[in-house]
Amino acid sequence: MRQVNQVRKIPLDYASEGMLLGRSIIDSEGNILLRAGVELDAQYINRLFEIGIHYLYIRDETFGETDDEDVISEETRINTVKLVKTTFSHLQQDRKINTVALRNIVNNLLDEILDNSSVLLSISDISTLDNVIFYHSVSVCTLSIMTGITLGYSDTKLKELGIGALLHDIGKSKIDQELVERFGNMSEEEYVVLSKHPELGYSIIRDYGDLSLLSAHVALQHHERWDGKGYPRQLAGTKIHEYARIVAAANTYDDLMTERLNRPPYQVNQAINLIKRMSGIYFDPAVVVAMISNIASYPLGSFIKLNTGEIGIVTHLNPESPQKPVIRIIIDKSLRRVQHPHEIDLSRMKTIIPVEIISERELNSLLPRPSGV
């Protein structure tokens, strides 16, 4: 596996001139605004603030090299985002959608995910507020397919699941976009309008004979709950289609990992713990187990506090032990920088365990800002 300088996610207000961008920034049209590897300057940073970017990934040689791991390639991610955006746009204009392109892109996603079947989901997407829904669709599709693979689905079932997951929010194309993009602060009447999107999505997909009706049921049922208190039909348990049960969990996980106007994104371990608590109430317990087995509880580049008091940065993931990565110790138990950082594999440690993820802000007083390379 290729080794690269450490890539980690930081708040944009911690970015400084000379840093190298770790992942490309995509604008609202699905085009690359800033390509990975570019050196940040004041103009770039100000532009990112202007378009609503609040987090970004940077490369940082301070902590050495790490595995270059992502479930799908940047090219595939960008192409899929563009296609989802085009699909929404065509529906808003009452134009036909390209179902052949949709099936082909899901096939590409499936091929890449199968090729990287030992890779854990570790990197969350960075998006502007006006293209959140398109990135969200791709992220939900990716995690849903990974979950389906874990559950032993055939290629046919994975493709049906993938189409349904990619288009699960397609009904929102028929709702006022100002309302769709508001993410909260709705009146009861507005919430009722937004809650129509599952039925609208079902109708859209159903009208295309070359798309599976089972994929349409994903759009219809992804807001149903395991306990029967969801919508639109208050289905419970196994009366909810298995594909929709997967997408319901993946949808909520990605929502938690996405910044909203009224809150920052959750840390991965916080989101996982919340999903676990919702298991058996909102979600099928078997789906939750399968889904979280594909997610790195402590993503590459994240700072981890151990029960020893030491702090390390995640450099490698253990697919067999998602909650026990390899970390490089950089801060000792006295909160002093380690002169000679060393790695430990938590999967081989019986008494050393991760306690929590430490944010960039929490470490700011301990660590210098990374410089460009």
The reported pLDDT for the residue numbered 67 is: 52
Distance CA 11, CA 8 (A): 10
Higher per-residue confidence, 21 vs 233: 233
Dihedral of the CA atoms 167, 290, 225, 178 (nearest 10)?
A: -40
User: Is residue 188's pLDDT more than 70?
Assistant: yes
The reported pLDDT for the residue numbered 338 is: 85
Same-domain status, 87 and 231: yes
pTM of the predicted model, to two decimals? 0.84
Domain stops at, among 67, 91, 110: 67
Number of domains in the chain: 3
Same-domain status, 26 and 105: no
Span 263-286, average pLDDT: 93
Nearest Cα to 24, choosing from 8, 36, 37?
A: 36
Q: Cα 192 to chain center, whole Å? A: 27
Residue 116: pLDDT band (50, 70, 90) is confident
Same-domain status, 324 and 266: no
Q: Which domain holds residue 43?
A: 3-67
The reported pLDDT for the residue numbered 366 is: 60
User: Is residue 182's pLDDT more than 70?
Assistant: yes
Same-domain status, 347 and 256: no
- 351 is a domain residue: yes
Same-domain status, 49 and 98: no
> Which CATH number belongs to the domain containing residue 59 in this structure?
3.90.105.10
Span 180-201, average pLDDT: 88
User: Is residue 315's pLDDT more than 60?
Assistant: yes
- 17 is a domain residue: yes
Span 133-143, average pLDDT: 93
CA dist list (Å): 40 to 58, 85, 360: 10, 28, 18
The reported pLDDT for the residue numbered 64 is: 55
Token duo for residue 279: 């298991």
User: Is residue 369's pLDDT more than 60?
Assistant: no
User: Is residue 65's pLDDT more than 60?
Assistant: no
